[in-house]
């Protein structure tokens, strides 16, 4: 396994193809895999995700990845559901996540706005390695019904009736609730920043 391999976790998540395409546009040729050995040997790991948290946890468990992913030492980026899986508790599935980051992922409590939250939204308080070269605010594209309230490792916040974690950074673990692969030039820069860590 090359020390420069970018590995995308294959656990039947819905946005794998778009993440692969975005990586290729940036000059990388990622490997899509559920092999623990390949993931452990990669230089970067991306945990994508669109769909149901319970099915995602079951798939990661079936592939012996629930224990592996939190122990990885290389940079790991969770996208959308992939970011939510980094938290301790997932309300949607009623189960534990990977417990990399303390906190719960809960359903939006707002009754005045449609759920899922879908579309472009201003994101503020940008900080950390994912946002190198950014100002304090940027627009990104979201599609989600569950969210994580801000925690100590929150690296960006978005408001949709209430504040939620739009991005996080905790040691070698990173997350984006938004879809960088669908967020135009700003999203591609976030992904590029991660891949260049």
Greater confidence (176 vs 16) lies with 176
CA torsion 105-111-117-120 (nearest 10°) is -130
Domain count, the chain: 1
Show which residues are catalytic: 80, 179, 181
Is 29 inside any structural domain?
yes
Is 32 inside any structural domain?
yes
Q: Is the pLDDT of residue 14 over 90?
A: no
Is 35 inside any structural domain?
yes
Q: Is the pLDDT of residue 3 over 60?
A: no
Cα–Cα distances in angstroms (integers) from residue 8 to residues 30, 72, 101, 134, 146, in the given order: 7, 14, 20, 25, 23
Q: Whole-model pTM?
A: 0.95
At 120-155, the pLDDT tens digits run 999 999 999 999 999 999 999 999 999 999 999 999
Segment 94-99 shows an average pLDDT of 92
- Show the tokens assigned to 173: 């673990």
Is 1 inside any structural domain?
no
At 60-70, the pLDDT tens digits run 988 899 999 99
- Show the tokens assigned to 99: 């417990």
Q: What is the CA radius of gyration of the chain?
A: 15
Helix (H) or strand (E) holding 84: helix 81-84
Domain coverage including residue 111: 6-195
Is 18 inside any structural domain?
yes
pLDDT of residue 156: 98
CATH number of the domain where residue 42 is located:
3.40.50.880
Is 169 inside any structural domain?
yes
């Amino acid at each position: 396994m090359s020390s420069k391999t970018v590995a995308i976790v294959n656990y039947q998540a819905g946005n794998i193809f778009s993440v692969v395409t975005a990586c290729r546009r940036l000059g990388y040729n990622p490997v899509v895999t559920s092999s623990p050995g390949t993931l452990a040997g990669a230089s970067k790991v991306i945990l994508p995700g669109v769909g149901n948290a319970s099915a995602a946890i079951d798939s990661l468990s079936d592939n012996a990845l629930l224990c592996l992913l939190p122990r990885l030492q290389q940079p790991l980026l969770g996208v959308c559901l992939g970011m939510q899986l980094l938290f301790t508790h997932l309300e949607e599935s009623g189960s534990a996540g990977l417990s990399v980051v303390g906190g719960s992922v809960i359903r939006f409590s707002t009754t005045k706005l449609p759920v899922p939250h879908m579309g472009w939204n201003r994101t503020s308080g940008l900080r950390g390695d994912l946002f190198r070269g950014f100002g304090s605010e940027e627009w990104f594209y979201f599609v989600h019904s569950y969210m994580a309230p801000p925690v100590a490792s929150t690296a960006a916040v978005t408001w949709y009736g209430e504040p939620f974690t739009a991005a996080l950074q905790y040691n070698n673990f990173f997350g984006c609730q938004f879809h960088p692969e669908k967020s135009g030039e700003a999203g591609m820069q976030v992904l590029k920043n991660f891949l260049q860590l």
